[in-house]
Amino acid sequence: MAKVHNYSAGPCILPNEVFKEAADSILNFNNLNLSLIEISHRSKDFVDVMEEARSLVKELLEVPEDYDVLFLQGGASLGFLTAAYNLMGVNKTGGYLVTGSWAKKAAKEASFMGESVTIASSEDNNFNYIPKNYELGNNIDYFHVTSNNTIFGTQIKDFPKTDLPLVCDMSSDIFSRKINVADFDLIYAGAQKNMGPAGTTLYIFKKEILGKSSVPIPTMLNLKTHADKDSMFNTPPVFAVYTSMLTLRWLKNNGGIVNIERKNQEKADLLYSEIDRNNLFEGTANIEDRSNMNVTFTLKDETLKETFDNMLVDANISGLKGHRSVGGYRASMYNALPIESVQVLVDVMKKLENK
């Protein structure tokens, strides 16, 4: 079969060896002659998977001792609500940096048990930049940011420094670059980009935040419920956790975060330099805020669209269509996308120019 260059924004490309091992586990897991998805989540074989997954997160991101790591369900969209419930304090107000549609959705959830305040927003320019130089004020209990804006192709390069609890939705760039976990009180991320298949959501948080919320929290949304049971309060999404664990093993065996960050930078440099060089194309994000994960760009001359789209199909490039709120193209270049796939795209862009 011809290789497909998969630029899907999520669910997205994962390493081929992960797909193979995950597929094997469905038929015969750990030589038990049983499938991974038919054994008890309380069996030693599965508890070992959960523990290895949690410990790989700690190792890869150098998570400090006073933090906990959980694999839960509900997607990052439930993370919006979970974050607000668990961090509401005396002001009953969350502060939000509104840098895209996901950030906006996160902000909305705080209003179910408290108030949500927009500290700064880039909606005035269709979210093509990351606001800077804003004041947090002293009436908010926490400050929520989105590290990478999957739809608009922007990424926070320097996280804000604040004494307030800092919360971050890292769904679309976790494990893609070095972060200092100690700067955050809570990080959450849907698995389906750099970590694994859809179905599980990673939470990393300072243990100290547990039990301090000023509002009553429904059982399943209380991080303490899950922390007290080592991420096994109820049946975990076993396949999603296992496949995430395999992806994290792959990352560790391939040089960890330092190596993947370098590769991601090389891929981003390759594509952005072509967008800037080639007169037919234009990047949509503010240059200093450009995402290394989701590269958004347009054709300056829309009449070339059909020709370019056909050339993409011929080159076996899939998933490049931009989100409807930006238009144009979006190249999602998550960890498992090889630089060879980026070169194929760049070659097509050059070919269009030469036509």
Q: Which residues are at the interface with ligand PMP (CB under 6 A)?
A: 10, 75-77, 102, 146, 150, 169, 171-172, 190
- Residue 260 has a CB neighbour count (10 Å cut-off) of 22
Beta carbon of residue 343, minimum distance to ligand PMP (angstroms, whole number): 26
| Encoded tokens for 10 | 């999520």
Minimum CB distance to ligand PMP smaller for 167 or for 349: 167
Which residue, 6 or 171, has its beta carbon nearer to ligand PMP?
Answer: 171
Alpha-carbon distance of 217 to 36, in angstroms, equals: 33
131 vs 344, beta carbon nearer ligand PMP? 131
Give whichever of 29 and 175 is closer to ligand PMP, judged by the CB atom: 175
| Nearest-approach distance from CB 304 to ligand PMP, in angstroms | 29
Nearer to ligand PMP, 169 or 289 (CB): 169
Q: Which is nearer to ligand PMP, 240 or 348 (CB)?
A: 240
Q: Which is the catalytic residue, given 68, 104, 193, 224?
A: 193
CB of 180 to ligand PMP, least distance (A): 20
Provide the minimum distance between the beta carbon of 231 and ligand PMP in the complex, in angstroms, as a whole number.
Answer: 17
Is the CB of 89 or the CB of 146 nearer to ligand PMP?
146
Distance CA 333, CA 342 (A): 8
| Residue number, nearest CB to ligand PMP | 75
Residue 52 in tokens:
């290895």
Minimum gap (Å) between residue 30 Cβ and ligand PMP: 28
Exposure class string for 94-131: b at 16+ Cβ within 10 A, else e: bbbbbbbbbbbebbebbeebbbbbebbbbeeeebbbbb
Phi-psi region of 316 (alpha: psi -120 to 50; beta: other; left: phi over 0): left
What is the rounded end-to-end Cα distance, in angstroms, of the chain? 28
Torsion region of 155: left, alpha or beta (phi above 0 gives left; psi -120 to 50 gives alpha): beta
The C-alpha atoms of residue 65 and residue 17 are separated, in whole angstroms, by 31
Length of the chain in residues, anyone? 355
Q: In this structure, are strands 317-318 and 154-155 parallel, antiparallel, or unpaired?
A: unpaired
DSSP string, 278-307: -TTEEE-S-GGGB-SSEEEEEESSGGGHHH
The Cα–Cα gap between 54 and 68 comes to 9
Q: Choose the catalytic residue: 169, 173, 185, 289.
A: 169
Say what angle helices 75-87 and 101-110 make with each other, to 10 degrees.
Answer: 40
Catalytic residue list contains 250: no
We find the least distance from the C-beta atom of residue 172 to ligand PMP, in angstroms, to be 4
The residues near 36 (Cβ < 8 Å, ≥ 6 apart) are 25, 26, 29, 46, 238, 239, 242
Question: Tokens in use for 148?
Answer: 């990478």
Within the chain, what is the greatest distance between any pair of CA atoms?
63
Q: How far is the CB of 146 from ligand PMP (least distance, A)?
A: 5
* 102 a catalytic residue: yes
Q: Which of 102, 141, 173, 289 is catalytic?
A: 102
For the annotated catalytic residues, the residue numbers are 102, 169, 193
